[in-house]
Each structure stands twice: as structure tokens, then as C-alpha cells.
Structure 1
Amino acid sequence: MNRGSEPTLIASVQRALRLLEVVGQHPGGITAKCLARNTGLALPTTYHLLRTLVHEGYLAKLDDGAFIVGEQVAGLHDAAQAQQLRSTIRSTMIELREDLNAAIYLARYDDGEVVVDEIVDSPRTPRVDAWVDFRHAAHATAVGKCLLAGLSKDERTDHFRRHPPEDLTPRTITGLRELVERPAPALVVDTEEYSLGTACMAAPVRIADLPVTLAISFPVRKLATTRDYVRPLRAAADRISRSLAVAGDYPSRN
């Protein structure tokens, strides 16, 4: 690479980041003089950068004059972990989309509502036309039915009290007894209950205290081949379950 094509770097930003790195290596704190010595920066420059970093919350100054990592860094760390988790989950969804040639959905049941957090589709695998909000169509979608299966009967009853099931297509199931009492299978399928011409399959994602599901949608004409979808869908749901278990949290977009 010739000099003219090298990126323009801002030296003060590089110095500030180096200070953050060194402070992070000293859990008990480190003084400005030691920081200057460790980084090779002039002491006046070190003080100037430290004042700025403290003002912005990236460092904190202790009573004895030592500097420690500030709350802003903790926030960045949490955000980075959440973004990495979302990236890992999305990669799994992309692989599943390519494997099954179907649109992929990740959804949760949170605070009494169905929330679709992620959709991975493409021009050749378009998402279902959400002509009715998924929050009001849990009874008619594999996504919603799988999530509701993770609730108690009382919670399902409460859901349908707030969102009475309505006929969305001639194939929509609206009977409360069946929707509330009938146990859902481990893998849920809806056949044109939400949208004519479209079928959907959903598998539970295992995470404590939060119903989550991974689902696919595809043209109903492919129903005859759905048994080929079962193993990849379950495997992807298990991979996401393991990612969430390691992270210890769900990457909510709220």
C-alpha cells in the first residue's frame, strides 16, 4: 500500500484508547504518572486526555488519585456482547434460510404480547405479508401457537381475552377450547391459517422464563416436503438455545 492510500488516523483518539487499555489492565486503579510511563505519553498530554475521559464517563478518578474504568465502558461492553449475540443468532438464521429456502423468524412472548425480533428473508424467500399484526394473530400462526405453548392455561386464557381469535382465512382455528386446552406439539405447523398460500413451522427455543421460537414460512405447495425441514429447524433452534444459555440473556431490541 502506498502512503497516499493509507487511512488517516487521529493520534489523540489512538492515545486515549491506549490509556483506556492500560487502565483496564489495572483493576485496582493506576495513577496518571504510571499511565504516562506505561504509554510513553508526555505527562501533560496524559492529564489532558484523562480529564476528557473522566468528563465523558469512560474513566473515573478515585479519592487517592488513581484512575479506573468508568460506567460508559461497562455500557459499551454490554452493548458489544448483545450485538455479538445478535450477530451469532442471525448467522444461524441465514444458514437456515439458505438450507431450507424459506424465510426465517425469531420471536418471543414478552409482557403479554407476541414480539417478532428478527426476520431473515430474501427476494427468493420473501417473508409472509403481515397483513394482520402478529400480536393479534397468535391463534393463527405457528409463531404465536409455539409461544403460547410455553404459557400456562391461565396465561393463554388471558391472552385470548385481550386478543379474541378471529377468522383470518377459512382455515383459521378460533375455538377457545382447542386453543387453550389442547397441548401444542413440540413442532407447530399452521397451514394457511394466517395467509392463504402460506404455511409456517415453528420450534421452541429453550431459555428460562421467556417463551421464544424459531420459525419458517414457505409456500403451502411445499407442505409435502416439510419432513425435510424438521431436523434443520430443530437443530438451528438448539444452536440458538445454546447461544442464549452461554450469554445468559435474550438480545431484546427494546
Structure 2
Amino acid sequence: MEVTVRDSAVPPSDMVSSVARALRVLEVVGESPTGLSPKQIARRCDITIAAAYRMLRTLAHQGYVMRRADGAYTLGLAVADRFRELVSAMRGPAEVGTVLRRASAEIGYSHYLGSFVDGRIAITAVAEGFRSPHVEDLVPGFDEGAHATALGKNLLATLDQAQRERYLKEHGMRAFTQATLRSHTALDADIAAGMRRGMQVEIGQFRPGVACASVSVQTAGDLSQRFVVACALPAVDLVKQAPMIRERLHATARTLQAALNAPLTAAHGAAAA
């Protein structure tokens, strides 16, 4: 199976420039939580001030930006609405969220579902646990650091070596901590050890003092149909409780597989009837 550059990374021949500029305005506004003036937005987007005003008025009318009393613009509530819809779509069946929350409540550690989204390894669902360190980056849609997280390693393990090398070449191997693996050879060896262990792990490779463990939910089919489940916990807890964590993750994976396949099974049953 070929792993290619995302379609969205290649500009279409019929790209609508005005739409692209409006989205760039949204990105620029989003990068500044304190707000930006229309002149600042125009300069950063390399558009005229008149064009910036037109786009901002349209985006404000639709709720995607808000104009403050001082004239600066920030993101609007419609962005939050779209994010909630994205989280729901990425999570899949509602039962998936129930399974993750139950698993998190039982052992107290945050649980994550991961898959390939538009060719990138991403977190698609999260259930926070009270015993896990809070890692602000680990939210639905997070698609960085596949080489530094157990969730990412598990999905990378579903690729053959050539596919994995292409993925890592495209997305890089950023050093999140001093323990982050930076070479393909070291990562391949780590993934192979995880496959023998029956659980991918990382300790302090993404955040100091934080560990992550992950097992497969399903690994066959198209990239978008491959899922893994992971939990994050203090590094010392993983060292002490690795066998228990592996057992609980595998149990959760079996329940998640049933939840993810339930709509497909129901659809086939309805078609047969």
C-alpha cells in the first residue's frame, strides 16, 4: 500500500484564490490570541488593506472572527463549533467515547484513540484521566510527533519499512526531549521491540517524566481503517505496572474494535434483510 503526500498538500489547478486568502486570514488571526488589527492582518497575509477589510467583514458576519472594542480581530465562536463537529467526526461512533471514558475511569489514566487522518498519524479521540499528567498538545487532531509517542509508533508499525521511511522523511523527527529518537534505525529497533513486547511504549521521549503505552485495535485495510489505543501516565507508573497496563489496553482494544465495526455490521445486516 502506497503512502503518499496528502492531497491537501498539493494545490489544485482550479484553486479559488479568494477562499485560500480568507483561510489564510483565519490562520493569521488564530496565531495571535491577543488579536490583530486589519492593517496587521493585511501585512501578514500580503493582501491589500481593502481586501483585508472585506474578508474580515464577511468572516465576522459568519461568526468566524470577532471584532473587539479596540478594533482588533480574534477568532469567533463558529470556529469552536466547527472544532466540536470535527472531534465528533474523527471519534466515530458515540460508543467509542464511552469505551475510552470507561477505561480512563477504571485505571485513572488518559486514553487516546489514534488513526491515519488524511495520510497523517493523528489523535482522533481522548478521554482524560485524573492520574495522568496533563499534556496540552494531546487533543483530537494532534498530528505531530509520531516517532516520539507510543500511539504514533504503533501506527508506524503498520507500515512497511519503505513506507515508514517516506512518512518520517516527509514529517521529520523533531527532538521533543533529549530522549527522543532521531534516527530511522533507532526507531525501527524500538518499534520491533514493541512488537515483540505486545505493546509499544515511550518513556520521556515526548515530555520529560511522562510515558505512553499503546496497542493495536485493528491494523488491516486502508490507512483510515487502522486504529490504535494508548494511555499516558507518569513514567514511574509504567515502569512499575507495565504488565497490568498492557492487559488493560488489550481489553480496551477488543471493546473498541467492536464499537468501531458495529455500524458496518449493522449496515451489512440491513442490506442483507
- C-alpha deviations, 1:120-166, integer Å up to 9, x for none? 11555454232899423111000110111111222211111111212
**Could you tell me whether the CA contact under 8 Å between 1:189 and 1:200 is conserved in 2?**
yes
Question: In structure 2, how many angstroms separate the alpha carbons of the residues matched to 1:115 and 1:83?
Answer: 10
The SS at the match of 2:93 is: helix
Superposition TM-score, scaled by structure 1 size: 0.59
**Could you tell me whether the CA contact under 8 Å between 1:105 and 1:216 is conserved in 2?**
yes
Question: In structure 2, how many angstroms separate the alpha carbons of the residues matched to 1:142 and 1:150?
Answer: 13
Q: 1:221: how far off? A: 2.0
User: Partner letter of residue 222 of structure 1?
Assistant: D
Q: 2:212 aligns with which of 194, 197, 200?
A: 200
Q: 1:218 aligns with which of 219, 223, 233?
A: 233
The SS at the match of 1:94 is: helix
Superposition TM-score, scaled by structure 2 size: 0.55
**Could you tell me whether the CA contact under 8 Å between 1:169 and 1:196 is conserved in 2?**
yes
Structure 1 residues 170-209: aligned runs within 5 Å: 170-180=178-188, 183=192, 184-185=194-195, 186-206=198-218, 208-209=221-222
Structure 1 residues 35-46: aligned runs within 5 Å: none
The SS at the match of 2:121 is: strand
Q: 1:208: how far off? A: 3.0
User: Partner letter of residue 256 of structure 2?
Assistant: I
- C-alpha deviations, 1:191-220, integer Å up to 9, x for none? 010000100001111153232111100111
Q: 1:168: how far off? A: 1.3
Aligned: 1:143 with 2:151: yes
What corresponds to 2:249 in structure 1?
Answer: 233
Aligned: 1:129 with 2:129: no
**Could you tell me whether the CA contact under 8 Å between 1:105 and 1:215 is conserved in 2?**
yes
User: Partner letter of residue 121 of structure 1?
Assistant: E
- C-alpha deviations, 1:35-58, integer Å up to 9, x for none? xxxxxxxxxxxxxxxxxxxxxxxx
**Could you tell me whether the CA contact under 8 Å between 1:169 and 1:192 is conserved in 2?**
yes
RMSD over equivalenced CA pairs, Å: 2.7
Question: In structure 2, how many angstroms separate the alpha carbons of the residues matched to 1:147 and 1:198?
Answer: 20
Q: 1:83: how far off? A: 11
Listed as ranges, the gaps of 5+ residues in structure 2 are: 1-88, 266-273
**Could you tell me whether the CA contact under 8 Å between 1:165 and 1:174 is conserved in 2?**
yes
Q: Which moved more, 1:220-229 or 1:112-121?
A: 220-229
Aligned residues: 168
What corresponds to 1:69 in structure 2?
Answer: none
CA pair 162-100 structure 1, distance change in 2 beyond 3 A: same
- C-alpha deviations, 1:48-83, integer Å up to 9, x for none? xxxxxxxxxxxxxxxxxxxxxxxxxxxxxxxxxx89
Aligned: 1:107 with 2:123: no
Aligned: 1:93 with 2:100: yes
Aligned: 1:118 with 2:131: no
User: Partner letter of residue 100 of structure 2?
Assistant: M
Question: In structure 2, how many angstroms separate the alpha carbons of the residues matched to 1:240 and 1:202?
Answer: 13
Aligned: 1:155 with 2:166: no
What corresponds to 1:242 in structure 2?
Answer: 258
The SS at the match of 1:105 is: strand
Listed as ranges, the gaps of 5+ residues in structure 1 are: 1-81, 250-254
Q: Percent identity?
A: 23
**Could you tell me whether the CA contact under 8 Å between 2:203 and 2:212 is conserved in 1?**
yes
